[in-house]
Amino acid sequence: MEGLAGRVVLVTGATSGIGRATCERLGREGSLVAVVGRRAHVGIEIAAAITRAGPGRALFVEADVRDEQAVTAAVERVVGELGPVGGVVAAAGATNIAGDMRDIADVTLETFTDVVSTNLVGTFLVAKTTLPVLAAAPAGGALVTIGSTGGLTGHGLGPGYTASKGAIVALTRLLAVQYGQRGVRVNCICPGPTRTEGMGAPFSDPELAARAGRRIPLGRVGDANEVAALAAFLVSDDASYLTGLVLAADGGLTVT
């Protein structure tokens, strides 16, 4: 993909799922990848593997996206060690959402706010911290957020998850308007059912995966690498005239 070689790209939620797959794809494209996450022992290994494989290289930075000071410190470290940031993929999201997968009357306020804090507040803090940095880059930059088809159609996994993902869609559109004339593109990917570590249990069972796939026009659930490819494309120069888009990576689920 054009323009990714040597570009500094910061990825949150980078120690698992879509975030990890995105870091690995960017490394193969030759990017300088900031692997940002909470699990240091995993993140260090991921960054080392990306650097060994080449042609890109990676740096792990520990941070919790719900903590504004931690996000600010992480961005400052990335700029200091890798250089000006040209792309950001805000992939951090709540994965332990069992308590949210209920009728709203049975979901506690604590569960709701915990999911919203990770998904929506985390995305807000990453955007708030990185957009001025992207706007200052000589060639501009790109921010990619991760929503969900649940935030588009209402078939989400619970009130906190669905509400937060729908809000990320709206926030993305606002940021695309606010930062377009500053040379920054902002787009949102909304994955459908996707095989990741967070959703691995149901989709590791062939029967359950096949059952989910029957609802999807392409006949199968997605893979994290497919979403990662789209994220890398949106950060690349090949997507230079794309902003404000909300792209459902769902095998056609939302058109049925």
In the set 60, 112, 124, 161, the catalytic residue is 161
> Cβ–Cβ contacts within 10 Å for residue 18, how many?
31
Query: Alpha carbon 34 to chain centroid distance?
Result: 13
- Following CA atoms 128, 83, 58, 122 in sequence, which dihedral angle do they give, to the nearest 10 degrees? -10
How many whole angstroms separate alpha carbon 227 and alpha carbon 199?
14
8 A C-beta contact, residue 195 and residue 225: no
Q: Are 123 and 131 in contact (CB under 8 A)?
A: no
Active site residue 161: yes
Q: What is each CA distance from 214 to 117, 157, 249, 256, in whole angstroms?
A: 33, 18, 16, 12
Tell me the Ramachandran region of residue 54: left when phi exceeds 0, alpha when psi lies from -120 to 50, beta otherwise. left
- Angle of the 159-179 helix axis to the 109-116 helix axis, nearest 10: 30
- What are the strands, taking DSSP E only, across 69-140? 85-90
106 Cα distance to chain centroid: 29
Whether 148 and 137 have beta carbons less than 8 Å apart is answered as no
Give the residue numbers annotated as catalytic, written as ranges: 161
